[in-house]
Amino acid sequence: MDTVYLNGSYLPHAEARLHPDDRGFIFGDGLYEVTPFYRGTPFRMPAHMARMRKGFCELRIQPPAVDLGELQHELIRRNGLEGEEMAIVYLQVTRGTAPRTHTFPDPDVPPTVYAWARSFRRPAPEAWEQGYGAIRVPDRRWARADLKTVQLLPNVMAQQEAKEAGAADALFVRDGLALEGGQTNLFVVSGGTLLTHPASNQILHGISRSAVLEVAEELGLPVEIRPIPDADLSFASEIFFTGTTAEVRPTVWLDGKPVGDGKVGPVARQLYAGFQEKVARECGLHAGV
């Protein structure tokens, strides 16, 4: 993470300075995206940028004048990450710096734009084969979980709890429904059908979730996009989570109890293979990823 981008400049990470009155710092008044690059090519950049634009619109944050896609490519180049199997670019835009008032700055101020890139190590195949754990946590987030805001305290607390339990994912449960992970979307296989929560205000509309749903459709798997009662998870044959860095992460235990037979299941396996093929095709990786 040598060279970062901050408000129009590329500079060494150690030299990047933010104003203390930045509304991201004061209010968590901002949005972020994490876009994966595979051997220097982004996977679904337009979808990541469309999600961020929707956030600007809904939160009435002035879109930055800079080309956000181009700056991400530039960070990959400047950090010499083009040849990496996988790298990620973190991009954050806040409403800008102004004296503290709850209402928007008046007059307008330019948004703050900060981004960095670093290489990302996917789990070793043996670790993936072992599977991962998950724990349930109450969902205490606000009612716009579909917006990728930097206000992640409930997610931070949930993922820390998961880590302390030796789990990879914290599963948010609200009103008896299993919604999504602290940084991932939830998929469940039950009675041979693949289930995932609808793209409502209660979950982030994951780019990986969409790609996995496309793979499921291409494979002709039965899919139902509907709310998943938490109580049904004990009957699930498979549970897995999807996300930009998790890709497809199989859950072999939930709150200490085995999921299905306690092994990584065939649907997660098939969908992960299909997801990797999609990445390879769309990112022009001919030798696999």
Ligand X SMILES: Cc1ncc(COP(=O)(O)O)c(C=O)c1O
Binding residues (CB under 6 A) for ligand X: these are 34, 155, 180, 183-185, 204, 206-209, 242-244
SS3 label, residue 231: helix
Collect all residues with Cβ–Cβ distance below 8 Å to 223 and sequence separation of at least 6.
193, 194, 195, 196, 213, 216, 217
Distance of alpha carbon 124 from alpha carbon 225, whole angstroms:
31
Comparing CB distances to ligand X, the nearer of 16 and 199 is 199
Quote the crossing angle between the two packed helices 207-218 and 45-59, to the nearest 10°: 130
Comparing CB distances to ligand X, the nearer of 79 and 183 is 183
**Minimum distance of ligand X from residue 104's CB (angstroms):** 25
Comparing CB distances to ligand X, the nearer of 32 and 128 is 32
- Residue 200, CA distances (Å) to 63, 144, 204, 225, 266 in order: 24, 9, 8, 11, 28
Comparing CB distances to ligand X, the nearer of 37 and 96 is 37
SS3 label, residue 123: coil
**Minimum distance of ligand X from residue 36's CB (angstroms):** 8
**Minimum distance of ligand X from residue 180's CB (angstroms):** 5
Distance of alpha carbon 76 from alpha carbon 3, whole angstroms:
9
Say whether 263 is catalytic.
no
Comparing CB distances to ligand X, the nearer of 34 and 109 is 34
Q: Which of 212, 215, 254 is nearest to 232 (CA)?
A: 254
Distance of alpha carbon 69 from alpha carbon 74, whole angstroms:
9
SS3 label, residue 160: helix
**Minimum distance of ligand X from residue 109's CB (angstroms):** 27
Distance of alpha carbon 111 from alpha carbon 115, whole angstroms:
13
**Minimum distance of ligand X from residue 181's CB (angstroms):** 6
Q: Which backbone phi and psi does 259 adopt, to 5 degrees?
A: -95, 125
Which positions are annotated as active-site residues? 148
